[in-house]
Structure 1
Amino acid sequence: MSVTCTGGDRVFTASVSGEVDHHRARRIMEELEQAIDGGAPRQFTLDLSEVTFMDSSGIAVVLRVYRRVRALGGEMIVAHPPAQAAKVLKAAGIDRLIRFLE
């Protein structure tokens, strides 16, 4: 599992790879919060294309990132979620709050 953040000028992409489960969710969230707090993004893309598994802990991570970005006046996008992760997020209705790029 890893989180890689790229970008600048308040437009960032955070790429998450590996499993997003209850064992790793806290560490992922801490890394994402550091990126958000350090850059105050107006656009924050969460790229999930390299996620191999996601459970309900992933829902909590995505919602927490969404709230943090919105509190700073930014927009969040979930990009390229694999089928399994997309199914988990859409079952929770996340796609009604956050724009998805498939």
Structure 2
Amino acid sequence: MSERTRIRGVAQREPARPRRAEGAAVLALQPAPGPRPAGERWEDSQATVAVRGELDRDALWAIDYTIGRASIEAGRIVLDLREVTHLDYAGVPELVARRRELRARGGELVVAVRNPYVANILKASGGAELVLCRTPDEAFTEAALANAGAARRRHQ
């Protein structure tokens, strides 16, 4: 759309749209919260929280809230950070706490991250126990392998 539109021959200015700061975080939840399909167990249902941009502390708290909402309906949550360019380390402990909470209930939180810079921030700021993978498709394959390895170590 142009900045000006013609209505009945008179040029009028369109209302200003709020602009998003360059690099600001954008958050999406798939599937949208709602009832699970009949017969699907909580532990087997999956939701993806996809984020892009730069994540400051406020964005990470919003993500934590969104993961909490998603975990009402789905036991397996993928946090898709593949399009994140920067991550504030201060919010990482909240993600770790959310993963612990999900695991205590029989669920799982897996983080899909492509950027090595973001992965290093996650690891260095207390996220060493987060399960990281490269794509949401391989998320729960990685989680299953990590859980099997942890179970073997406990039984040795």
Please give the range of the TM-score, normalised by the shorter of the 2 chains. Answer: 0.7 to 0.9
**Quick one: higher RCO (CA 8 Å, sep 6+), 1 or 2?**
1
Counterparts of 2:46 and 2:131 in 1: how far apart (Å)? 16
- Tell me, yes or no, if the aligned pair for 2:87 and 2:118 is still in contact at 8 Å: yes
List gaps (5 residues or longer) in structure 2.
1-24, 135-156
Aligned to 1:2: 26
4+ residue runs over 6 A deviation: none
- C-alpha distance after superposition, 1:51-72 (max 9, x if no partner): 1210213312421331232132
- Residue type of the partner of 2:95? V
Q: Tell whether 2:48 aligns with 1:24.
A: no
Aligned to 1:94: 127
Q: Secondary structure at the match of 2:57?
A: coil
Counterparts of 1:81 and 1:64 in 2: how far apart (Å)? 22
Assess, with a 3 A threshold, how the Cα gap between structure 1 residues 3 and 65 changes in structure 2: closer, same or farther. Answer: farther
Alignment root-mean-square deviation, CA: 2.1
Quote the offset at 1:88 in angstroms: 0.7
Matches within 5 A, 1:62-101: 62-95=95-128, 97-101=129-133
Assess, with a 3 A threshold, how the Cα gap between structure 1 residues 63 and 32 changes in structure 2: closer, same or farther. Answer: same
List gaps (5 residues or longer) in structure 1.
none
Q: Tell whether 2:46 aligns with 1:11.
A: yes
Q: TM-score, normalised by structure 2?
A: 0.54
Q: TM-score, normalised by structure 1?
A: 0.77
Quote the offset at 1:28 in angstroms: 2.2
Structure that is richer in strand per residue: 1
Identity of aligned residues (%): 29
Look at both structures and tell me which one has the larger radius of gyration over its CA atoms: 2
